[in-house]
C-alpha cells in the first residue's frame, strides 16, 4: 500500500514538473555534447583517390585525385581554416587543382576558395550564379544561432559543426566567383575523373550533389546531415521546400551510392548503411510534411499543430534525426506559413492588437511593472521560464532599458538555454541573455 502511495506521489510530482525543465527539442545538453564526436579532426580516405577532411573547419572539404590533378568539393568558411586543410591534403594530393565545386552557396562552405585555387586557375562549378548576401535579420540572428559570443563554459557546439565564427570571424575574403553554373544534371570528366553534378535542392535551393559513378561515391552537401534537417530556419531565411528535399533524396537513392560524404560530420561507408540513413531522412521529412498538411486541411492552427505533429517513435530515436539543429516544431510552423500565410485563422488576430497596447493592458491587470517583475521572479522559482520571459517582455515593450526586466529575461533565457540540447535554440537563448546582461540595446 505504501509502495503504491509512493508511486502515486512520484507520478503526481512528475506531472507537476513544468515543461521548461526539459529541453523543448527532446535533446539534452549531454546528448548535444556527445555529438561533438562527429566533429573530431580527421583526414579520411573513403575510396581510392577520395579523401574528406572532417573537423578542420566548420564544414567538410573533399579531395578527389585524378590522373592530371585534383578536384576540390567545398572550401570551408574562411582562408585560415582552408589553409589547415590544404596542409593536410598536401600529404596525399598530386598535381594542380583543376576544378572546385561548391555544393551550395552557404558561407560556411565557400569561404576558403582562394587558398585551394592558389595559382592553379581551376574552373569553379556550382548550382548558383552568385552567393547572395542575406537581408535583414540573418546577420544578427545568424551570430546568435551559432552562439558566436556565448561564454565557453556554456557553449557546446553549433549543431552541424563544432563552431562557426567563434575562432575566426565570418568573412567572404576567400570566396571566388564561378565560371560554370549547373542547372541540370551534367556529366563531365575533370582531371581524368568521370563525375556528374546533379541539382539536389534541399538545405539550400541551389544545392548540387557530386556523383562519382565509378567509385559509387556521392558528395551530397548539406542535404543529409546527422541531425533533423533545418527545413524552416529561424535565423530569417525562407523555408526549404520539403517536397523538393524529398525528391532530391530520392534522386540520391536512385544512384545507389556506396559512400556518402556529407558537408558536415563524418562520412557514411557501405551501401546498406547509406540507404538506411537516406530512407529514414526522407521518410522523416515526408511524415512531418504529410501530418502538417493533413492538419491544415482539418483547419487546425499552427499552435495546435505543433503539439500534435510528431515523428514516428522509430524515426524520432534514429541518431540521424535527433533535433540537434532543425526541429519538428519549426518545420510545422514553416510549412503552415509558407502554404497558408501568416494568419492563423483566429478572427481575434485579423488586425492584432499592437504589442504596446497588449502589454499596457495586461500590466494594468497584474499590478503594473512591479507586479509583472514579481510574477516573473515567482515564475523563475517555479521553473516556468518561458512564462518569466513573457512577463519580462511586458515591461520591456515600453522600456527596453528597464534593468530589472532585462535581468529577469536574461535569467529566464539562461535557464532555458542551459537545459536545451538543440544547438540553435540553446545558442540563441544564451546569446540574447548575454546581450541583455551586457546592456546591448538592439531589440532581441
| Residues lying near Zn ion in the complex (CB under 5 A) | 59, 106, 108-109, 222, 263
Nearer to Zn ion, 65 or 427 (CB): 427
DSSP assignment string, 337-371: HHHH-S--S-GGGSSPPPHHHHHHHHHHHTTHHHH
For Zn ion, give the closer residue by CB, 65 or 103. 103
- Long-range contacts, 340-347 (Cβ 8 Å, 24+): 340/296, 344/301, 344/302, 344/303, 345/299, 345/301, 346/301
Write out the DSSP string of 166-217: SSS----TT----SEE--S-EEEEETTEEEEEEE--SSSTT-EEEEETTTTE
**Shortest Å distance, C-beta 124 to Zn ion:** 17
Least distance from C-beta 244 to Zn ion, angstroms? 17
**Least distance from Zn ion to the Cβ atom of residue 104, Å:** 7
Cβ 221 to Zn ion, closest distance in Å? 7
Select 59 or 145, whichever has its Cβ closest to Zn ion: 59
- By beta-carbon proximity to Zn ion, the closer residue of 232 and 410 is 232
Q: How far is the CB of 224 from Zn ion (least distance, A)?
A: 12
From residue 437, how far is each of 286, 408, 413, 430 by CA, in Å?
Answer: 42, 10, 11, 11
Report in angstroms how near the CB of residue 152 gets to Zn ion at its nearest: 23
Q: Which is nearer to Zn ion, 66 or 262 (CB)?
A: 262
Look-up of cell digits 598530386:
94
Q: Where does residue 204 fall: left (phi above 0), alpha (psi -120 to 50 degrees), or beta otherwise?
A: beta
Q: Containing H/E element for 268?
A: strand 268-269
The distance of closest approach from Cβ of residue 388 to Zn ion in the complex, given in angstroms and rounded to an integer, is 35
Spatial distance between the Cα atoms of 16 and 5, rounded to a whole number of angstroms: 17
Closer residue to Zn ion in complex, CB, 264/384:
264
Q: How many angstroms separate the CA atoms of 317 and 131, rounded?
A: 36
Closer CB to Zn ion, 59 or 65, in the complex: 59
Beta strands 123-126 and 180-181: pairing type?
parallel
- Which of residues 141 and 203 has its CB atom nearest to Zn ion in the complex? 203
Q: Closest separation between CB of residue 174 and Zn ion, Å?
A: 15
Q: Where do the DSSP E strands lie in 36-192?
A: 42-47, 50-54, 61-66, 69-73, 97-101, 123-126, 180-181, 186-190
Strand, helix or coil at 424?
Answer: helix
Amino acid at each position: 500500500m505504501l509502495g503504491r502511495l509512493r508511486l502515486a506521489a512520484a507520478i503526481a510530482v512528475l506531472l507537476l514538473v513544468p515543461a521548461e525543465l526539459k529541453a523543448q527539442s527532446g535533446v539534452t545538453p549531454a546528448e548535444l555534447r556527445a555529438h561533438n564526436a562527429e566533429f573530431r579532426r580527421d583526414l579520411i580516405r573513403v575510396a581510392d583517390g577520395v579523401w574528406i577532411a572532417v573537423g578542420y573547419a566548420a564544414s567538410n572539404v573533399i579531395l578527389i585525385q585524378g590522373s592530371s590533378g585534383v578536384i576540390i568539393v567545398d572550401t570551408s568558411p574562411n582562408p585560415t581554416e582552408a589553409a589547415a586543410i590544404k596542409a593536410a591534403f598536401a600529404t596525399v594530393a598530386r598535381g594542380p587543382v583543376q576544378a572546385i565545386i561548391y555544393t551550395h552557396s552557404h558561407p560556411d562552405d565557400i569561404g576558403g576558395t582562394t587558398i585551394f585555387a592558389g595559382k592553379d586557375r581551376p574552373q569553379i562549378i556550382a548550382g548558383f550564379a552568385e552567393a547572395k548576401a542575406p537581408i535583414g535579420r540573418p546577420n544578427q540572428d545568424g551570430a546568435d544561432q551559432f552562439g558566436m559570443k556565448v561564454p565557453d563554459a556554456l557553449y557546446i557546439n553549433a549543431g552541424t559543426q563544432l563552431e562557426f565564427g567563434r575562432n575566426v570571424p565570418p568573412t567572404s575574403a576567400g570566396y571566388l566567383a564561378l565560371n560554370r553554373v549547373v542547372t541540370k544534371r551534367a556529366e563531365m570528366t575533370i582531371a581524368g575523373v568521370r563525375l556528374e553534378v546533379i541539382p539536389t535542392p534541399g538545405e539550400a535551393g541551389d544545392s548540387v550533389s557530386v556523383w562519382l559513378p565509378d567509385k559509387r561515391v556521392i558528395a551530397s552537401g548539406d542535404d543529409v546531415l546527422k541531425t533533423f534537417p533545418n527545413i524552416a530556419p529561424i535565423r530569417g531565411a525562407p523555408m526549404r521546400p520539403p517536397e523538393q528535399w524529398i525528391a532530391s533524396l530520392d534522386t540520391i537513392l536512385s544512384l545507389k551510392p556506396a559512400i556518402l560524404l556529407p558537408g558536415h560530420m563524418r562520412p557514411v561507408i557501405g551501401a546498406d548503411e547509406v540507404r538506411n540513413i537516406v530512407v529514414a531522412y526522407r521518410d522523416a521529412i515526408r511524415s512531418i510534411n504529410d501530418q502538417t498538411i493533413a492538419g491544415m486541411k482539418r483547419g487546425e492552427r499552427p499552435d495546435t499543430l505543433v503539439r500534435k505533429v510528431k515523428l514516428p517513435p522509430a524515426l524520432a530515436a534514429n541518431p540521424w534525426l535527433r533535433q540537434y539543429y532543425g526541429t519538428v516544431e519549426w518545420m510545422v510552423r514553416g510549412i503552415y506559413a509558407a502554404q497558408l500565410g501568416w494568419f492563423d485563422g483566429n478572427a481575434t488576430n485579423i488586425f492584432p492588437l499592437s504589442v504596446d497596447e497588449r502589454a499596457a493592458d495586461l500590466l494594468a491587470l497584474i499590478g503594473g511593472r512591479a507586479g509583472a517583475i514579481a510574477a516573473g521572479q515567482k515564475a523563475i522559482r517555479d521553473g516556468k521560464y518561458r512564462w518569466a520571459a513573457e512577463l519580462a517582455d511586458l515591461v520591456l515593450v515600453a522600456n527596453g532599458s528597464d534593468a530589472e526586466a532585462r535581468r529577469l529575461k536574461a535569467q529566464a533565457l539562461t535557464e532555458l538555454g542551459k537545459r536545451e540540447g538543440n544547438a540553435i535554440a540553446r545558442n540563441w537563448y544564451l546569446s540574447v541573455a548575454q546581450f541583455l546582461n551586457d546592456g546591448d540595446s538592439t531589440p532581441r
